[in-house]
Amino acid sequence: MASHRRPKPPSRTRVTLLTTAAAAAVAFSANSANAAPSEKPTKDEVKSKVDKLYEEAEQATEAMNGAEEKAGKLQKEISTIQDNVARGQDELNQLRDSIGLAAAAQYRTGTIDSSVQLFLSSDPDSFLDRASTQDQLSAQQVEALKKIQEKQRQLAQQRAEASAKLADLSSTRAQLAKKKKEVQGKLADAQKLLNSLTAAEKAALAEQDNRASRDAGERVDLGNVGSASGRAGAAFAAAQTQLGKPYSYGATGTATYDCSGLTSWAYAQAGITIPRTSESQANIGTRIYNVNDLRVGDLVFFFNDLHHVALYAGNETVIHAPRTGTVVRYESMSTIGGPFMFGVRV
């Protein structure tokens, strides 16, 4: 006889899981149907993001420039110390040779030179004092031995100084490499965003930049450029000759420039050496906080951390190397992208 057992009903837990899964599937399907497709960022949105990346890249660039400048100074200092150590070692060897000759002469006569005892002594200073008091050494030998001891101390100090500076140089170079990588990463991200634009959108952005620069240039022509005087005027005139040169991070001319590279080059043409970075350039002259008090050729600083510098061109405009993808150009101070902090009269 066949079995007529009723099938075992599903457990309450299993029913709950199946019901929950089904509800989730329905909800997901409904949300997927109603979700709006992701929209491509507009040209202006891309420009805003790219400008921000360029600003961050310029911040890193100025830090990189500072590390590079410091590395160069450290390398020169280390070279000077190493040269001094080499000369000091030669002098020490000569002093030792003179003592050695005296010792050899006394050895041939069967006596033990006191200078040899000095080198074997565990306390050379005390021995030197006793030997001198007891007339065991000639005045000339005492003087030579004192010179040897002083030269040894000097060399030890110089070698320690060189070692410390070498460690600092290694750290600075590591920082330089890190900042360079950071700059390259920011620029790569900006380029990806720009590549998402159509050719027409890229052309529109380029024309927008060019138009702003032309407008600023016209304002410069109307401004009182004659207010520039002396070396500031010469620096400004030098910068004008570089209009149209491309921006390149870390560059100091004359093919390409970054912001502080242009200003330091321009003042160098006027016979004035100023520091390499914008932050350092902010501390070299008289600060001017009122735009109305600026004169053509003054250095002008932007952003709270002073990572951008330009040359004042009159009528609230500047000449500067703005950022990657641009050239040395005139620009209104109101369109720099960061607040005016102050000017510096060199």
> Does residue 254 contact residue 245 with C-beta atoms inside 8 Å?
yes
What does 87-156 look like in DSSP terms, one character per residue? HHHHHHHHHHHHHHHHHHHHHHTT---HHHHHHH-S-HHHHHHHHHHTT-S-HHHHHHHHHHHHHHHHHH
Q: Which of 74, 142, 232, 259 is catalytic?
A: 259
Give the span between the Cα atoms of 8 and 3, in whole angstroms. 14
Q: Compute the CA torsion angle 251, 257, 261, 264 (nearest 10 deg).
A: 130
Q: Which of 308, 319, 330, 336 is catalytic?
A: 308
Give yes or no: 308 in active site.
Answer: yes
Terminal C-alpha separation, the chain: 113
Q: Which of 47, 307, 320, 323 is catalytic?
A: 320
Tokens of 119: 């080198």
3-state secondary structure of 290: coil
Catalytically active residues, by annotation: 259, 308, 320
